[in-house]
């Protein structure tokens, strides 16, 4: 499938562009997606948007040519998909994704690994894999259990029923629901806004949130992490610029040396 990377100023936009297959991913597509994230990071962008072209964001793994008798699903997920999801999660700038149409399996995992996800009201999310004799993967269990609890998670898995984007956001899965016809403009505006913000401060928050999710440090350890992050930010140009702008009663201009 085609994976397209466009860099405009400080913003990268990555598009999954194989709408005939609902942007399903095979190994070569995963490799192309990984290269796009690496190229965007190397370019020093300050915000990134991931989206899918056509009716779906990403319907998951491309299984059109998979032979069950010889399939090594564990290797595909462990050695191909998981490194990509970790790469996305560690991207050195704020990341955004637009969830439209089917967002399933690996496609759901791409959303899990992204910082901020805006969801079209027409999106479809869940675990339809009972119909394949397979199970949810790419971080789906952790996401659903953490946000929905055990009973609702297993209900979705056992029934293979899908949620709309409106239902998913109401249940706390992702950031906001936006009408499908407005979501691209809505998201691009917020990505652009993030690209002009204090990147190092954003990354400090990103790391604190990651620790809360993965390490479960508790309140006072998290407070200590916040204190240390704030102390480190004191030495950054963005911190100096933000304080100078406040004191001079003007808008801050981040990403450059502060005015003397």
Asked if residue 201 lies in contact with residue 239, where contact means CB atoms within 8 angstroms, the answer is yes
Which pair of tokens denotes residue 116? 């901020």
Mean pLDDT of the chain: 92
CA gap 258, 30 in Å, rounded: 40
Confidence of residue 260 (pLDDT cuts 50, 70, 90): very low
- 8 A C-beta contact, residue 58 and residue 106: yes
Is the pLDDT reported for residue 257 higher than 50?
no
Task: Provide the pLDDT for residue 61.
Answer: 85
* Segment 49-74 mean pLDDT: 88
Is residue 56 over pLDDT 80? yes
Q: Is the pLDDT of residue 259 over 50?
A: no
pLDDT above 90 for 9: yes
Percent of the chain scoring above 90 in pLDDT: 77
Paired tokens of 7: 């860099």
Indicate the pTM of the whole model. 0.91
Predicted confidence at residue 258, as pLDDT, reads: 37
Q: For the chain, report the end-to-end CA distance as a whole number of angstroms.
A: 50
DSSP, residue by residue, 68-82: GGG--HHHIIIIIIH
Q: What is the pLDDT of residue 256?
A: 61
């Amino acid at each position: 499938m085609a994976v397209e990377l466009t860099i405009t100023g400080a913003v990268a936009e990555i598009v999954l562009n194989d709408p005939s297959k609902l942007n399903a991913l095979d190994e070569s597509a995963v490799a192309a997606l990984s290269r796009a994230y690496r190229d965007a990071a190397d370019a020093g962008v300050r915000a990134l948007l991931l989206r899918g072209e056509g009716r779906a964001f990403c319907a998951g793994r491309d299984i059109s040519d998979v032979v069950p008798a010889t399939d090594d699903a564990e290797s595909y997920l462990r050695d191909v998909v998981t490194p990509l999801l970790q790469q996305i999660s560690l991207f050195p700038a704020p990341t955004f994704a637009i969830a439209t149409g089917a967002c399933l399996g690996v496609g759901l995992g791409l959303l899990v690994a992204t910082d901020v996800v805006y969801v079209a009201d027409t999106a479809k999310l869940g675990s339809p894999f009972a119909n394949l004799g397979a199970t949810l993967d790419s971080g789906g269990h952790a996401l659903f259990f953490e946000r929905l609890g055990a009973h609702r998670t297993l209900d979705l898995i056992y029934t293979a029923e899908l949620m709309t984007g409106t239902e998913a956001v109401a249940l706390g899965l992702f950031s906001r629901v936006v009408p499908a016809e407005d979501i691209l403009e809505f998201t691009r505006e917020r990505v652009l806004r993030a690209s002009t913000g204090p990147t190092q401060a954003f990354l400090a928050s990103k790391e604190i949130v990651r620790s809360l999710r993965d390490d479960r440090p508790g309140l006072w350890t998290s407070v200590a992490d916040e204190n240390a992050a704030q102390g480190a930010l004191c030495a950054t140009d963005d911190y100096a610029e933000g304080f100078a702008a406040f004191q001079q009663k003007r808008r801050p201009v981040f990403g450059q040396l502060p005015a003397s």
